[in-house]
Amino acid sequence: MKGKIYSMVIVLLVLLVSSPLLAAPKDTVLIGQGNGPTTLDPQDHFEMPAFCVLINMYETLLVRSDDMKFSPLLATSWKILNDTTWEFSLRGSPLRFHV
């Protein structure tokens, strides 16, 4: 009898844990976090919850490698034209910009 009860409890726990995943619409990714971000402004995030959300929303022109040098990401190449102007060549399609 105890074995039956333990089995039922395990089955119920599995169903409870997996039910949110089963409820997700097709082609939808659910990401769970302990805390929500305080901002979605990419220039004003200083905590991990905002970083975890923003990293999935934005892509930067360049990233820093382990040795702190610039590496291409959205930009394939770049050059400094003067003290205040840089020119970036962006990778090919598909590129989508939105507001």
pLDDT tens digits for the chain (99 residues)? 677 787 888 877 776 666 555 666 778 777 777 888 888 888 887 888 888 888 888 888 898 999 999 999 889 999 999 999 999 998 876 777 765
Shortest CA distance to 74 belongs to which of 54, 89, 87? 89
pTM: 0.51
**Nearest CA to 52 among 74, 32, 78, 82?**
32
